Structure 1
Amino acid sequence: APVAAAPVAAAPAAPAAPAPAAAPGNLAASGPAARKLADEKGVDASALVGTGKDGRVTKGDVLAAPAAPAAKPAAPAPAPAPKMVWAAGTQGDRPRAAQEERVRMTRLRQRIAERLKEAQNSAAMLTTFNEVDMSAAMALRAEYKDYFEKRHKVRLGFMSFFVKAAVQALKEIPAVNAEIDGTDIVYKNYYDIGVAVGTPQGLVVPVVRDADKLDFAGVEGTIAALGKKGRDGKLSMDELTGGTFTISNGGVYGSLMSTPIINPPQSAILGMHKTMDRAVVINGKIEVRPMMYLALSYDHRIIDGKEAVTFLVRIKELIEDPRRLLLDV
């Protein structure tokens, strides 16, 4: 029988040639609109296949291209280490707390702090200065102090001279004895003079009521009584409030000059200081006189500079010739 021929395997097909890589577009010849759009999208236009004439990349080629992946945001900079702040009333991590003593403020000290800060925050505060020759006042006091004390049972000090001088000057310059209430100025036709007194608990300012109606003995007696009550911690609120003007004497502690802080709602405060012998020119000659610097702090919202200076000069004139205090001139 005939034998069938063995099948012949077909020759394997030759592998297909790889498609030619698309030529990059002609970016140089592309229009400015296509290049600008490519920059905005973050597309590398030089890698695009241009479909325009001569292989130019068109705006359509750029729009069809996938946008470049967004860059990862930069890692945030580490936050700076917080500064150490110690809360009021707590020790926190104070490095030398073991060597410190913490004492709670008394109610009086807290109130003093509040009032002083209130004055600085609310008033347009300014200070003017002058100096006074204490020769005549010292001579008058030296001549009559023993008789005065024997007669009135109270010592004659210099504070009564300044209280009486302040009352007379306040009558002449009423703005210094006034206060601001909202949009009004309240002029006071009474003279309640606060006298700053140092106590173991802090500075207090008891008020000498109706000082214009008191003589020297009445002023000195009232100040002595209020001072004792202050040192004993027995002053009432009524005795500490309602003053129209204040006098502070830093000279008892040795202060030569200061800028006292107004006692709100008052508009001014007079600062006395230490009396010291200094060389001054009197009638063309150099003489040594007991001199004291005076300071007037005032609220510039209500008191003009001219008024403040005039007031302080009037104080100076009255102290340098204390007979005027007796004659009201």
Structure 2
Amino acid sequence: MGHGHDHGADDLPDGRLIAAVAVNVLLTVAQIIGGVVSGSLSLIADALHNLNDAASLALALFARKIGRRPADKLMTFGYGRAEVVAALINLTTLVIVGLYLIYEAVARFLNPQPIDGWIVIGVAGVALVIDVVTAVMVHAGSKNSLNIKAAFLHNVSDALASVGVIVAGILILLYDLYVADLVITLVISAYVLWQGFSLLPRTIRILMGATPDDLEYDRIVAAVAAVSGVKSLHHVHVWSLDEHTRSLEAHIVPDTGSMKAFEEIKTRIRAMLKSDFAIAHATLEPCTGVASSDPASVRAHAGKTHDHSHSHGDEA
């Protein structure tokens, strides 16, 4: 059942990802040291965010390598969901980091500490440059990969956070406005949580086998029912095999008992699904039973559990 998929993420060489990971790890170490020495919580917050970016990139790189493996007897659908699993891990960690930063910000507000503004500005300035460079490095692969897109957005927000940290350092130097460090920490936390919660639903839906976000189930059913030669259909299931590959399974009641005619019907259905809905994989089984192609009836059938086997070998 080997299928070749071009996910577009190969626009981003693995070497560039490795370099981005290394740079972000070094930046994290520098920011943590700077944050401890200066007493700046916002600098440490930015460091934790950068560490999450480095881990995210490293896990995305590992998942990409696994995802390229062909289908085998263990993973008959292939390993494409490895990147989606990696995204779920990264985003969950991101949310935990965001909540922890809020906790630390409140604790620091109740027990304020002295902060060295010059160290904050210096380290944050270096971080800003590295964040921008990293974002440029991973931009090429951000259009076709959920993991890489998340990493790219993280780096962009990191750059904005670094700007905020610099502003906090300036306010501390000029006006002794130490509360600025806490406010910036909360802003960084808000960015982290927004990124995590905005991408988590899509990731979970893919892993749960939900209908892709941009597809309407009833519209797909109606389109298949309208294909010449289709009398009715039922047991319709639509899901994403991975981030880029959609699949459909359905029982078709043809208006003819000829298998040759049914093969022609399948060809027409698959061509329509590919052109209208970007569904490249369709498993279509003939069924002689009487069933309704009314969307409400099909939905009712789709929600039931059925004990039947499926052969995917005819997906030509």
Structure with higher Rg: it is: 1
In the superposition, the TM-score normalised over structure 2's length comes to 0.20
Q: Which structure has greater strand proportion?
A: 1
Q: Which structure has greater helix proportion?
A: 2
